[in-house]
């Protein structure tokens, strides 16, 4: 696709040119090349390069599986497939495909696979529900170059394929993340494969998340590498992704957000005017340039993050990530250089033995909490947290309900159906703290709780009576 224009005609007064993607490339056997196109004012994504996956439905024998009919994928004898668990674990390359039984195959269509037979046994390599990605039809070698994409009511570009490049493009005005790099095994949307050996370089991105603003826009980085996982998640399917020499201005959220990946390089990027939509930020601080969640091996070097003190507090943050390195980054606030650091919070899980759904309330609750405080081994308080107020020096994760207020007092309920509440605090606080104090009321007598930090669990304690008091929770 070269030199294409997709949008309202020049002589038209239409606000929207199309309610579909501009260019959508799916499961190509040779990498598509999309160059010098002009795409604007669409109600969906501008450019999509995606690899869809089918799932194992049942085993016919040791070498043959029946696969799901949706989404449509292409598999042929001689192809090589790789498998992925619903949690996102990329497992292994499977034996070569030797036979495929098709639905709907005719002279105009390759057909959809019904059953796939491999050269040797796959009984120990696959489980029902695992996803299959055909490396022979994964858009290998794709190029998206020198395109202008602007003012779409979705993302400007969405990539869900390995081995390709996204370079020298000019992007402006998206509703969602300007460049979304996704893998999906959630079971809600079409299952899509992971990114590997991909470079995103020399692009300019403006107004990410600031066009057609809606509720979904309130968290729209310029570049977002994400895995929407089924099962327990926690895997890092994306690998060997480079984001370099890009210029980002005016973003609703951070400039670069990387999740669920291994071996990622974020280098030589110029990020400014970030965090224009005032949403919750990690540890309740004002905002960051970059963020890393569940990443193994991130290199962050020679980036410049600049802005005002109202929108920036640190260069970036990292959570549940390992082996990150930073060097020669600049963090500039109101024209003044400041230390360029990655904030590293520690998640603390509160695991309740049960939750209760009171009459007339559909929520599963464990404890009413008006205030939290962390204390060291001498009993001295390290930090006091106004739970129902602004998130200062803390970030609340899953298992925490929104704040409530009555009579001048604010609070939150902890619990939810899974019985786990996640609280993130700065690592130095978590390291020094030996106790967590909860000023609150258990939903009923006799509910116990234990704290878990980095897979180390403390003893469970009974939270006591359903009257307001201070509950002391030991930390491991």
Q: Does residue 120 share a domain with residue 25?
A: no
CATH number reported for the structural domain that contains residue 243 in this entry:
2.160.20
Please, what is the end-to-end C-alpha distance for the chain in angstroms? 58
Q: Does residue 326 share a domain with residue 299?
A: yes
Domain boundary among 74, 109, 135: 135
The pLDDT value recorded for residue 217 is 65
Q: Does residue 295 share a domain with residue 161?
A: yes
Q: Does residue 43 share a domain with residue 161?
A: yes
Q: Does residue 330 share a domain with residue 182?
A: yes
Q: Does residue 248 share a domain with residue 128?
A: no
Quote the number of domains for the chain.
3
The pLDDT value recorded for residue 107 is 84
Q: Does residue 104 share a domain with residue 42?
A: no
The pLDDT value recorded for residue 359 is 86
CATH number reported for the structural domain that contains residue 113 in this entry:
2.40.10
The b/e string for 93-104 (b: 16+ C-beta within 10 A; e otherwise) is: ebeebeebebee
- pTM for the full model? 0.84
Pick out the chain residues at pLDDT < 70: 215-218, 232, 278-281, 284
Q: Does residue 330 share a domain with residue 277?
A: yes
Q: Does residue 151 share a domain with residue 46?
A: yes
CA distance 269 to 364: 44
Q: Does residue 68 share a domain with residue 37?
A: no
Domain boundary among 95, 114, 135: 135
**Residue range of the domain that includes 58:** 54-135
Q: Does residue 295 share a domain with residue 197?
A: yes
Domain boundary among 327, 343, 359: 343
Q: Does residue 22 share a domain with residue 128?
A: no
């Amino acid at each position: 696709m070269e030199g294409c224009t997709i949008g309202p005609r020049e002589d038209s007064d239409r606000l929207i040119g199309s309610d579909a993607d501009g260019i959508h490339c799916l499961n190509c056997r040779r990498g598509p090349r999309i160059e010098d196109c002009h795409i604007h004012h669409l109600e969906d994504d501008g450019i999509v390069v995606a690899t869809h996956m089918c799932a194992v439905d049942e085993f016919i024998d040791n070498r043959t599986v029946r696969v799901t009919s949706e989404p449509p994928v292409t598999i042929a004898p001689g192809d090589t497939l790789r498998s992925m668990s619903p949690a996102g674990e990329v497992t292994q390359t499977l034996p070569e495909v030797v036979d495929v039984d098709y639905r709907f195959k005719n002279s105009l269509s390759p057909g959809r696979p019904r059953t796939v037979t491999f050269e040797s046994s796959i009984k120990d390599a696959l489980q029902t529900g695992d996803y299959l990605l055909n490396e022979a039809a994964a858009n290998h070698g794709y190029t998206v170059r020198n395109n202008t994409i602007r003012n779409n009511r979705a993302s400007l570009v969405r990539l869900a394929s390995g081995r390709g490049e996204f370079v020298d493009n000019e992007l402006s005005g998206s509703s969602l993340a300007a460049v979304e790099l996704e893998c999906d095994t959630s079971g809600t949307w079409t299952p899509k494969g992971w990114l590997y050996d991909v470079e995103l370089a020399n692009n300019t991105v403006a107004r990410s998340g600031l066009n057609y603003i809606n509720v979904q826009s309130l968290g729209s980085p310029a570049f977002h590498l994400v895995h929407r996982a089924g099962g327990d998640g926690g895997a890092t399917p994306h690998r060997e992704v480079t984001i370099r020499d890009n210029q980002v201005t005016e973003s609703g959220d951070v400039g670069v957000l990387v999740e669920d990946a291994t071996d990622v390089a974020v280098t030589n990027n110029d990020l400014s005017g970030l965090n224009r939509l005032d949403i919750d930020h990690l540890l309740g601080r004002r905002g960051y340039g970059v963020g890393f969640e569940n990443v193994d091996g991130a290199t962050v070097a020679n980036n410049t993050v600049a802005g005002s003190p109202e929108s920036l507090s640190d260069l970036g943050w990292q959570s549940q990530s390992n082996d990150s390195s930073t060097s020669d980054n600049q963090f500039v606030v109101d024209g003044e250089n400041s230390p360029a650091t990655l904030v590293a919070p520690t998640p603390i899980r509160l695991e309740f033995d049960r939750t209760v759904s009171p009459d007339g309330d559909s929520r599963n609750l464990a404890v009413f909490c008006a205030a939290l405080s962390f204390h060291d081994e001498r009993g001295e308080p390290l930090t006091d947290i106004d739970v129902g107020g602004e998130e200062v020096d803390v970030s609340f994760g899953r298992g925490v309900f929104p704040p409530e207020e009555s009579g001048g007092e604010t609070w939150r309920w902890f619990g939810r159906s899974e019985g786990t509440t996640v609280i993130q605090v700065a690592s130095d606080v978590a390291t020094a703290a030996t106790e967590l104090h909860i000023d609150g009321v258990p939903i009923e007598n006799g509910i116990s709780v234990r704290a878990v930090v980095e897979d180390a669990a403390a003893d469970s304690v009974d939270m006591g009576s359903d009257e307001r008091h201070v509950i002391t929770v030991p930390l491991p």
